[in-house]
A = this chain, B = another copy of it.
Amino acid sequence: MRSDSSRTFTELARRRQIVDGAIDVLADEGYAAASLAAIAQRVGISKGVISYHFAGKDELLSEVVASVLAQAGEYMGPRVTAARPGLEALRAYVRSNLDFIDGHRRGLRALVEVLRGSPPRAGEPAPYGPEREDAVTALARMLAEGQRTGELTEFDTRHAAVALRASIDAVTELLRTDPDLDVQSYATDLLRLFEQGLAR
């Protein structure tokens, strides 16, 4: 993979444009309908351009995932960092994550489509499995920090992290069928549940 800095400005702009088009198609029509032809049409370019700028469909979809994850990181990072380590950081994490999900529905929808649609390849880890694992691990670390500060009781941090991440991720799916879901309220309830459930 070439780094961003090795690319010209125009090239980066084209890639950005294509990735955005892919997100649009994925969000609106789903993984199966997100053919290169459909994406090219949405962007208003020819299929060849995509092949020219991306090694293949896989790289394009990776870029979609990376793009959304990067945005999420940019949004959540400062908020979590600003919080006091431990319970407060956990709250910031959950709140900012759900805020982000609520505010970037299309991007999240596209992300989930790629995660769900990508076929596993024999002999390789599940597609985007490492990313998931990293997220769980990071969350487990925050919970452990809460234990260290004494705000949280003893429990298996990985198990709790798995449950919490799943509970957060469920919202994207939920929003599809119920766009009027009050995400803020869900965040509050989720935090109350986990705080009380994991409190000392």
Contacts and interface: CB of A to CB of B under 8 A. Distances in A.
A15 interface: no
A179 B189 CA distance: 32
A117 B197 CA distance: 34
A174 interface: yes
Interface in A180-196: 185-186, 189-190, 192-196
A175 to B, nearest CB: 11
A186 B167 contact: no
Contacts of A176: 126, 129
Contacts of A30: 119-120
A66 interface: no
Contacts of A159: 185-186, 189-190
A149 to B, nearest CB: 19
Contacts of A116: 116-117
Interface string A160-174: 101101110111011
Given A159-B185, A185-B159, A196-B197, A120 B177 contact: no
Given A156-B185, A177-B125, A189-B160, A32 B119 contact: yes
9 contacts: A30-B119, A32-B117, A117-B117, A129-B176, A155-B192, A159-B185, A160-B193, A166-B170, A196-B199
Question: A-B pairs with the 3 shortest C-beta distances?
Answer: A197-B197, A32-B119, A166-B170
